Amino acid sequence: MVNIMPQNISHHSWVEVSGSALIHNLKQYRRALKPGVSLLVVVKSNAYGHGLTLASQVAAQSGLVDWLGTASLSEALTLRSVGFKLPILVLSYYHPLQVDELIRGIKTNISFVVYETQAIKQLAVAARKARQRAKVHLKINTGMARLGIDYREASQYLRLIKGDKNLLLEGVASHFATAESKFTGFLQTQLENFDKFLVENSSLLGSKIYKHIACSAAINTQTGSQYNLVRLGIGYYGLWPSFDNKTMVKKTQPYFKLQPALTWKTNIIELQKLAAGVTVGYGRSYLTKRPLTMAVLPIGYWDGYDRKLSNHAQVLVQGKLCSIIGRVCMNITMVDVSHVKNVKVGDEVVLLGRQGRGVVAAEYLAEKSATINYEVVTRINPNLPRALVG
């Protein structure tokens, strides 16, 4: 039994992100845009697990991206602090009482989605102190029922913004509830509601304002929703919003392909020979039916590897699929590597991604853990190092 980690391995687990895959995906979506449509890449939540600054760097240097989108003001300020110059839109949240942060955001060309009166008024206060107008995008609820002002009541908020010399109405936005679905009826209803809002408030909006509702799933399948700005999220990272969406796109655009950019890796830290009839791990949930070789991996649910994958999923060792045995622990996972020749401590293990001819897709792990590919990649612990590869 060997139980010492090789000295040349500096991290117990790490994420590699392919810059060429990200660029490929950007080119695919750029090709799908109508002339004059601007592209916003969403890098919220640590860029869907891919690394906030890493994914933003590729986007900014590509020459294909016009905007970056974050969930919070803190994410946006992080990007500004390390030198990113592209316009940034805070899509979801900022605390209206964080006046100093709001002032910094206003002064560094950060725009803000607004959806309630207090935030609008507080932005105006911060803008007055910054001596610079705050750029705002009014969020309209067309049927999502999450964030946003009802499209039938939005005119009063438009007047509030337009009537304040400290604010600049830069855009209006909404969000689809069912863009990933093959059933498009409700999407069409939302699109009609958004169009109705635009027509009824055309005199307040003017002709130069940004209008955006399209997400990754809608860019290809609902070209009428592109307006003059689209928000590209999960597609940038090479993941399909849903199987339905992939099927719909492939039917009309067979050339359209995405390349998953993320590979999640670790190493074997111990090997054990187990006899038949041995139980493995907490709760003794796995019983060996034959002698086997067990590899121990230094990852677990703290790292973001879902506990529901216990006794249920596979990883790659030397390009071969190897089954998890026993329960995924907080920091440890056990794997049957009996069929891998010359396996040794230190061997690289792929938890998510490709290795040789083998692949463990985010969709596979999502199915095994009863969730979606978005959650699989986003929940990878942000403390794990991310590296940009070719």
pLDDT of residue 97: 77
Which CATH homologous superfamily contains domain 33-252?
A: Alanine racemase (3.20.20.10)
Indicate left, alpha or beta for 167 from its phi (over 0: left) and psi (-120 to 50: alpha). Answer: beta
Measured CA to CA, the distance from residue 44 to residue 315 in angstroms comes to 28
pLDDT of residue 9: 46
pLDDT of residue 10: 59
The pLDDT tens digits along the chain (390 residues) read: 333 333 334 589 999 999 999 999 999 999 999 999 999 999 999 999 999 999 999 999 999 999 999 999 999 999 999 999 999 999 998 887 789 999 999 999 999 999 999 999 999 999 999 999 999 999 999 999 999 999 999 999 999 999 999 999 999 999 999 999 999 999 999 999 999 999 999 999 988 999 999 999 999 999 999 999 999 999 999 999 999 999 999 999 999 999 999 999 999 999 999 999 999 999 999 999 999 999 999 999 999 999 999 999 999 999 999 999 999 999 999 999 999 999 999 999 999 999 999 999 999 999 999 999 999 999 999 999 999 998
CB 148 within 8 A of CB 141: yes
- Quickly list H helices, the chain: 19-32, 44-48, 52-62, 73-81, 99-107, 117-130, 155-162, 185-200, 202-205, 216-221, 243-252, 362-368, 373-378
End-to-end Cα, the chain, rounded Å: 36
CA angle 342, 289, 367 (to 5 degrees): 80
CB 159 within 8 A of CB 203: no
Where in the chain are the domains?
Answer: 33-252, 261-389
pLDDT of residue 206: 87
- List of residues 6+ apart from 183 with CB closer than 8 A: none
Q: What is the DSSP string of 1-20?
A: ------TT---SEEEEEEHH
> Which active-site residues does the annotation give?
44, 282
- List of residues 6+ apart from 8 with CB closer than 8 A: none
pLDDT of residue 93: 84
Shared fold status for 33-252 and 261-389:
no
pLDDT of residue 1: 30
Q: State the architecture of 261-389 in CATH terms.
A: Beta Barrel (2.40)
